Structure 1
Amino acid sequence: MFKSLVLKASSTRKVFNVAHFNQQRGMHSRNKMAMEYIAKGWNALKEVDRVIDYCEPRDKRLIPHLKTAKDNFEMALEVDNTNTHARYWLSRLHLKYHVPGQCKAIGAALLVEAADMGDADAQYELGRNLRIENEGVDTDQQAFYYLEKAADQLHPGALYLLGAVYLTGDCVKKDIDSALWCFHKASEKGHAGAAIACGSLLVRGYELPPSITKFSLKKEVTGRKLRKKSGEPKPNPIQLAREQFENAAKLGNDLGFRWLKRLDEEEKRVLAA
């Protein structure tokens, strides 16, 4: 269902001349009135998320909050039609919540527009959904395109998914260096799953790229040459892995604690031997 809506929205989407709007009113993120509407809508939606797990999704008590969120996101777009944040949150309302006047086709169209206009959250959400939805339509390359765009903006979720794509070689050539780069960057952004993935690869003997660069082979080669000339020792991969697991543990990830315990036990075994 989602894929068909996205494909339809992609084929009929309007092309927005962002530069034209910027000349008239400045960057949309600086539009104070639009951002105030978005903040009000987001606060209303936050209240829905706070209680939705404890009631039915169609509970009538949620309607006032959902309507408030919808009205404010729509007002933000009226104030500034180039605002990608308002587009993204309004698309979420139509796609994820039982908001009055809900229309999934509108939600898909708004999501595609926000992603094409450069919103990292929209790009991640679109890429993620295109990967997990399976309706016999091959959209892996399209999903990869949007995930890559979001990863370029260092979106942690997109970096993690892109790392998984490179690690498995799914729809792209398998590339452990690129996977490690993505996991490492996502870990820096506070993604616990990426920290576990990065640490587990380091434990298995893989090395981080000499310069943490995603695609520039030239920079990686230069980094290796500089390291050889300076005579700096290679970093200990187990220590690097421990740092990743500690990051995951700090974020409350149970696997982080398990990996740290496993490393401690292995060190004790080596010392005893």
Structure 2
Amino acid sequence: MLPRALLAKFIPKPSTFSRFQFSQQRGLHSRNKKAMEFIAKGWNALKEVDRVIDYCELNDRRLIPLLNKAKENFELALEADNTNTHARYWLSRLHMKYHVPGANKAVAAALLVEAADMGDADAQYALGCHLRVENDDVHSDQQAFYYLEKAVDQLHPDALYLLGAVYLTGDCVKKDIASALWCFHRASEKFALAL
């Protein structure tokens, strides 16, 4: 039998540390948290623009401070966390949809493609929709279908509905009623959860 002193070396002593101090769960990184704060501020500015835009001109001077605030916050979010896909998506949407000073459609397209390639479902859906718009110079139906499928893989409700319509009509793919029904069913489940 081993002496008690020798066994004491192998028996764990009560720790002075809390068992929650070294939690194995990964929390939200401070960069991500700061980026999400900037995104929330930018999104709130855009919501205010959307609220008042119906009562004024698209390039009204009163909207410029709100648009600049949104743009600045989305850019700060990207500076805080360069891998944040939400910041890329919202900044691209800001450049595409709104008359923000210094808007650049090429930058918007590049940001949207980057966000979609990084796995953001909203960006994949938006890019699929933009590529789906009829353009005689660009044959982008298969690219649009590719990005819509990637958004459907993440169960994006609008992408599910649109892809269901594509399968139902046979537009750019072989007509497939079973796949269309599956997409519509999943979309209805997602929309029901959102209500």
State the 1:51 CA deviation. Answer: 1.0
Q: 1:102 to 1:54 in 2, by over 3 A?
A: same
Q: Is the 8 A contact 1:28 1:83 kept in 2?
A: no
Q: Is the 8 A contact 2:31 2:81 kept in 1?
A: no
Distance in structure 2 (CA, Å) of the matches to 1:84 and 1:156: 19
Q: 1:28 to 1:183 in 2, by over 3 A?
A: farther
Unaligned runs of at least 5 residues, structure 1: 1-25, 192-246, 252-273
Distance in structure 2 (CA, Å) of the matches to 1:29 and 1:68: 22
Distance in structure 1 (CA, Å) of the matches to 2:121 and 2:28: 16
For 2:94, the aligned partner's letter is L
Instruction: State whether structure 2 residue 125 is matched by structure 1 residue 110.
Output: no
Q: Which residue of 1 aligns with 2:53?
A: 52
Q: 1:137 to 1:65 in 2, by over 3 A?
A: same
Distance in structure 1 (CA, Å) of the matches to 2:133 and 2:187: 20
Q: Is the 8 A contact 1:151 1:158 kept in 2?
A: yes
For 2:46, the aligned partner's letter is L
For 2:114, the aligned partner's letter is E
Distance in structure 2 (CA, Å) of the matches to 1:42 and 1:67: 12
- TM norm structure 1: 0.59
Q: 1:99 to 1:188 in 2, by over 3 A?
A: same
Listed one character per residue, the Cα deviations across residues 206-227 of structure 1 (whole Å, up to 9, x for unaligned) are xxxxxxxxxxxxxxxxxxxxxx
Q: Which residue of 2 aligns with 1:72?
A: 73
Distance in structure 2 (CA, Å) of the matches to 1:53 and 1:90: 22
State the 1:30 CA deviation. Answer: 7.5
| Higher alpha-carbon Rg | 2
Q: Is the 8 A contact 1:121 1:155 kept in 2?
A: yes
Secondary structure of the 1:190 match is: helix
- TM norm structure 2: 0.82
State the 1:107 CA deviation. Answer: 0.4
Distance in structure 2 (CA, Å) of the matches to 1:167 and 1:176: 6
Q: Is the 8 A contact 1:28 1:80 kept in 2?
A: no
Listed one character per residue, the Cα deviations across residues 83-137 of structure 1 (whole Å, up to 9, x for unaligned) are 0000000000111101111101100000000000000000000001111242332
Q: Which residue of 2 aligns with 1:155?
A: 156
Instruction: State whether structure 2 residue 138 is matched by structure 1 residue 137.
Output: yes
Structure 1 or 2: larger helix share? 1
Q: 1:106 to 1:116 in 2, by over 3 A?
A: same
Q: Which residue of 1 aligns with 2:179?
A: 178
Q: Which residue of 1 aligns with 2:40?
A: 39
Secondary structure of the 1:189 match is: helix
Distance in structure 1 (CA, Å) of the matches to 2:112 and 2:147: 11
Q: Is the 8 A contact 2:122 2:156 kept in 1?
A: yes
Q: 1:69 to 1:159 in 2, by over 3 A?
A: same
Pairwise CA RMSD of aligned residues? Answer: 2.1
List structure 1 segments (4+ residues) > 3 angstroms apart after TM superposition: 26-30
